[in-house]
């Protein structure tokens, strides 16, 4: 679907008219001194457009006019965007898509060529990312502030309908002033149409939103409904009500960045999934994520060549030295993950949010997987309201798009306290249960050091649906940690010892050692079948890879005829 604007004849015409205009401007300057007409002046564009170009067939006036509008529109966009340190919509598409693969749909839809209007404030079309087709739309802030009206909504909806038909991912480059006020309810109605299609596409094709400018009001729910939201450190904003409305309604004075900037939504609210340093970084992250995902839920993820090297064995041996023997001593779970996955390459999701959990994409022997892990470096890897939602959403993403889930467990349990209870730890923690309990992709879990209480069950335990569960020899699995359990079970014995003058600490240490030997030791879970095998740390990658090969044939099964579950939200 090559655009006529790219035809050689039109390109030659544009080059020649640009040169003629430059000569005319120079001659006009000279003519101004003599009082005569400009030597380089030409007829109106309509008649000039019919002049043959290099002996070729004449360019029709309408085509020539459209070509001039397209050129002028992009020049105008560069003037408007570059001074702000931002790219134009077409330059952003060039960064996202493989070179020369963009095929635009409805370039002049919503325009008025005769009256000098090039088109709508959104560019739609298809292109390739690493050789695979994606649907893209890019809002153009240089055209009426990128606002969305009827023409823009219809273009986006047409693109999304075709993307669903072709079963390809949808990527949105957002830079918009929101609904076009001049069109009133007609503009708002278009958001409703887009919302409905986004919901229809959810879990069927990957949807990624890249916020490269303002996104306010009802417009924020377009990206909010997609799988991943990417923002930039500067220029990128999302909020339901802007600073002016907030001030008028509450009296609070706040800047756009503090209210809904990229850093706020990545670190505080958890709305966004990646913070790009600039537009190129944000767009490159989108390309990277797409490399791990299939084109649709009907497809398997892409696979990549992987060659075993001597370094792999050395890397595996490092695992035995990363995790400290002292179960209270922190370490960086990222070091463990990088020793397990191919080439140590791990693409984090929501890196700045809920740091006690780590989620992201990686490959095992060339096959993409989702990795979920506790992070002992942050609050001992505890599960709280934010980390629960982070884990649950990512597991659901992996399950939707056929990525196996690898879970690495080292957690003391759920975070206690009134603050967490009042923030809804019951409701929000239940999301993790729902995500794992409903997942039907291959699930492999490894307990590295400790897994206590409800957190053990929800983090990919055998009981909740994991296919293969392994544990390291030093791991501890129990309802409660040894010290906490002894303080509860033997509180009367400890009190009597204190009253009789005995060494309470020595007695507690003795009871803790006994509890660890008889209860916390992972052998109990091994004996009851909750753990499939005890493995040395350096066997972890091998065990995961063998399990993935074993589970290659796992298929989805619809157990009931229900429409859908009622997930805690």
The reply to whether 218 belongs to the active site is yes
Options 145, 217, 260, 370, the catalytic residue:
217
Q: What is the largest CA-CA distance in the chain?
A: 117
Q: Categorise residue 384: left if φ over 0, alpha if ψ from -120 to 50, beta otherwise.
A: beta
H/E stretch holding 446: strand 443-452
The reply to whether 203 belongs to the active site is no
Options 40, 203, 454, 484, the catalytic residue:
454
Q: How many residues can be counted in the chain?
A: 569
**Matching residue, tokens 């490092």:** 318
Give Cα 497 distance to the centre of its chain. 56
Q: Which is nearest to 332 in space by CA: 360, 355, 315?
A: 355
Options 89, 201, 455, 485, the catalytic residue:
455
Helix-strand-coil split of the chain, %, nearest 5: 45, 15, 35
For residue 173, count other CB atoms closer than 10 A to its CB: 28
**How far apart, in whole angstroms, are the C-alpha atoms of residue 223 and residue 230?**
9
SS3 343: helix
The reply to whether 455 belongs to the active site is yes
Which residues, 6+ apart, have CB-to-CB distance to 301 below 8 Å? 292, 293, 294, 367, 368, 401, 402, 403
The reply to whether 213 belongs to the active site is no
SS3 362: strand
Q: Where are the beta strands (DSSP E) in 246-351?
A: 274-276, 347-349
SS3 468: strand
Options 24, 203, 218, 344, the catalytic residue:
218
Burial code (b: 16+ CB inside 10 Å, e: under 16) for 23-38 equals: ebeebeeebeeeeeeb
- Positions marked catalytic: 217-218, 454-455
């Amino acid at each position: 679907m090559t655009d006529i604007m790219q035809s050689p004849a039109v390109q030659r015409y544009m080059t020649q008219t640009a040169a003629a205009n430059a000569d005319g401007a120079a001659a006009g300057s000279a003519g101004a001194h003599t009082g005569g007409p400009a030597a380089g002046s030409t007829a109106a564009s309509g008649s000039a457009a019919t002049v043959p170009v290099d002996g070729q067939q004449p360019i029709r006036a309408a085509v020539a006019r459209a070509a001039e509008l397209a050129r002028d529109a992009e020049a105008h966009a560069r003037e408007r965007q570059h001074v702000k340190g931002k790219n134009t919509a077409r330059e952003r598409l060039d960064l996202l898509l493989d070179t020369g693969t963009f095929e635009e749909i409805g370039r002049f839809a919503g325009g008025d060529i005769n009256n000098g209007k090039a088109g709508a404030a959104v560019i739609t079309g298809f292109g390739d990312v690493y050789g695979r087709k994606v649907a893209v739309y890019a809002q153009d802030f240089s055209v009426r502030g990128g606002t969305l009206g009827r023409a823009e909504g219809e273009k986006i909806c047409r693109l999304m309908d075709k993307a669903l038909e072709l079963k390809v991912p949808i990527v949105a480059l957002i830079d918009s002033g929101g609904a076009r006020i001049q069109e009133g309810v007609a503009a708002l109605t278009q958001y409703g149409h887009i919302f409905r299609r986004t919901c229809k596409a959810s879990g069927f094709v990957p949807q990624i939103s890249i916020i490269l400018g303002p996104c306010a009001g009802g417009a924020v729910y377009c990206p909010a409904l997609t799988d991943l939201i990417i923002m930039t450190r500067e220029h990128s904003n999302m909020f339901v009500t802007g600073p002016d409305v907030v001030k008028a309604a509450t009296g609070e004075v706040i800047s756009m960045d503090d209210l809904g900037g990229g850093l706020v939504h990545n670190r505080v609210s958890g709305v966004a999934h990646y913070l790009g340093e600039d537009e190129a970084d944000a767009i490159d992250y989108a390309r990277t994520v797409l490399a791990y995902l299939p084109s649709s839920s009907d497809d398997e993820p892409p696979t990549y060549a992987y060659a075993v090297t001597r370094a792999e064995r050395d890397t595996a041996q490092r695992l035995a030295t990363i995790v400290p023997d002292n179960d209270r001593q922190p370490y960086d779970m990222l070091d463990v993950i990088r020793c397990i996955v191919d080439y140590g390459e791990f693409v984090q999701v929501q890196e700045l949010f809920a740091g006690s959990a780590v989620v992201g994409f990686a490959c095992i022997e060339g096959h993409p997987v989702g990795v979920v892990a506790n992070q002992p470096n942050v609050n001992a890897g505890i599960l709280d309201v934010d980390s629960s939602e982070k884990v649950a959403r990512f597991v659901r993403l992996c399950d939707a798009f056929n990525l196996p889930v690898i879970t690495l467990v080292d957690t003391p349990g759920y975070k206690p306290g009134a603050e967490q209870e009042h923030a809804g730890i019951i409701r929000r923690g239940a999301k993790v249960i729902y995500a794992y309990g409903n997942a039907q992709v291959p699930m492999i879990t490894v307990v590295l050091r400790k897994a206590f209480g409800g957190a053990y069950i929800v983090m990919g335990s055998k009981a909740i649906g994991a296919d293969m569960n392994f544990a390291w020899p030093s791991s501890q699995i129990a309802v409660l940690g040894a010290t906490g359990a002894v303080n509860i079970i033997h509180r009367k014995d400890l009190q009597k010892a204190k009253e009789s003058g005995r060494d309470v600490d020595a007695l507690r240490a003795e009871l803790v050692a006994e509890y660890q030997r008889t209860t916390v030791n992972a052998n109990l879970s091994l004996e009851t079948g909750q753990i499939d095998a005890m493995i040395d740390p350096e066997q972890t990658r091998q065990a995961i890879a063998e399990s993935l090969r074993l589970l290659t044939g796992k298929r989805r099964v619809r157990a009931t005829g229900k429409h859908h579950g009622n997930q805690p939200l």
